[in-house]
A = this chain, B = another copy of it.
Amino acid sequence: MLDKGIFKEPKKELKCLYKPLEICANVLANVCTTDMELIYLRIIYVKLMKKRQLTIKDIAKALNISASTVSRSLSDHPDISQETKDIVVAYAKKNKYKPNVLASSLRTQNNKMIGVIIPEIVHYFFSTVLSGIEDEAEKEGYRVIISQSNEDYEKEVKGVQTFQEARVCGVLVSVSKKTHQYDHFQELIDNEIPVVFFDRICTGILTDRVVVDDYAGAYTAVEHLITTGCKRIAFFGSPSNLPISNNRRMGYEDALRKNGLEVDKSIMKICDNYQEALTVTPELLSLPNPPDAFFAVNDETAIAIMNIVKSKGLKIPDDVSVCGFTNSSLTEICDPPLTSVDQHCYELGASAMKLLLNRIQSGTNDTQLNNKIIKTNLVVRKTTR
């Protein structure tokens, strides 16, 4: 007939319904007579069996050894004989054993999961950085969990909270524009969760950072414009609350000064997106003494400038040179292809991840602060002479 024993074993199954299921199964086992009832019973049984993944205990039982031996075999512990290891590993593979990292993380207090907070995924810059992060993490066997702040302080705080609950072993952050309070990051550090900032760093928190060498990037770009004959170079920058924008402006100014050109505020504008540039550019072009070159803090802005310049019947780069920043995929798509400062976004992400892993692996707060600077380089295309 029906072996009632099978119902005692799978007790562990479905979430919290030990008892109801057990009762249900027992009742059914006593009552079932018709084929249909037996089929239902079987369904329950199969469901119970299926939902449960193979565990170390199962392997131990099957191989008639102890769970610790299985555990040690799977982690290639030197104490275990090769013979035993081979048997265990073979069995595990054959039966598609998947170690439960939840359990092992809980036990070892070390979760190979790192959290990444970024303002917005949909962005050439951030998605590229994220790609670098993910590839690097994957290489080292870490998992990446993401949280986008959407430039919102509350969401950023919530992301940090979630990461702590998930017991991530480290966090990578590029802070939102609206964040002016940094307690949530400090809390991570206080809890010995290493944090590395990238690009949009947070100067108030003492920890590793990776930034792009904005100053040098701007400097060489502007110098290139000058050496190719530009005399009057306009600057389109971001509002100066973020350090990034100031650095680029300073690189621009210093390049002018070092080359004996005047820094003229009337051709320096706060303008860092496509739409704004569409209105600002014509103003500059209609000055009595219009610029013969534009340096923009990102590629979208540079492309807006190009479109306006072209629409005025001016030639690029003969009449006007344009240089962008980021070296995004846009540079290859516009016409003519845009000269731009390569920020090496992918490398930036990979570097940040490396720093973080370093900190994780060396025990949190002991090492010196690392302040990595990613060198930029100018990619000259057809919008400069």
Contact = CB atoms under 8 A, between A and B. Distances in A.
A333 B330 contact: yes
Contact of A101 (B167, B190, B303): B167
A345 B147 CA distance: 18
Interface stretch (A116-124, A206-214, A223-231, A255-263): A116-124
B307 A165 contact: no
Contact of A121 (B109, B111, B131, B150): B131
Interface stretch (A31-39, A59-67, A92-100, A245-253): A92-100
Q: State the oligomeric state as a number of copies.
A: 2
Interface stretch (A76-84, A137-145, A236-244, A369-377): A137-145
Contacts of A50: 190-192
A127 B134 contact: no
A98 B164 contact: yes
A81 B102 CA distance: 32
Given A105-B102, A333-B274, A138 B127 contact: no
A307 B307 CA distance: 12
A192 B161 CA distance: 30
B303 A333 contact: yes
B127 A122 contact: yes
A8 interface: no
A58 interface: no
A276 interface: no
Contacts of A120: 131
Size category, A interface = 35 or more
A15 B144 contact: no
Nearest to A168: B143
Contact of A109 (B16, B96, B127, B274): B16
A100 B108 contact: no
A188 B316 CA distance: 55
A304 B335 CA distance: 9
A147 B332 CA distance: 27
A311 B335 contact: yes
Interface string A131-170: 1001100100001111110100001001001101111000
A292 interface: no
B123 A143 contact: no
A313 to B, nearest CB: 14
Interface string A332-363: 11110000000000000000000000000001
Contacts of A134: 121, 146-148
A6 to B, nearest CB: 16
A167 to B, nearest CB: 5
Nearest to A274: B333
Interface string A4-39: 000000011011100000000000000000000000
9 contacts: A15-B108, A16-B109, A102-B102, A121-B130, A121-B131, A138-B147, A144-B145, A330-B333, A333-B334
Given A50-B190, A100-B106, A303-B333, 16 more contacts: A15-B108, A51-B192, A53-B191, A96-B187, A98-B165, A106-B106, A113-B145, A121-B131, A122-B131, A134-B146, A134-B147, A134-B148, A138-B158, A143-B162, A274-B333, A311-B335
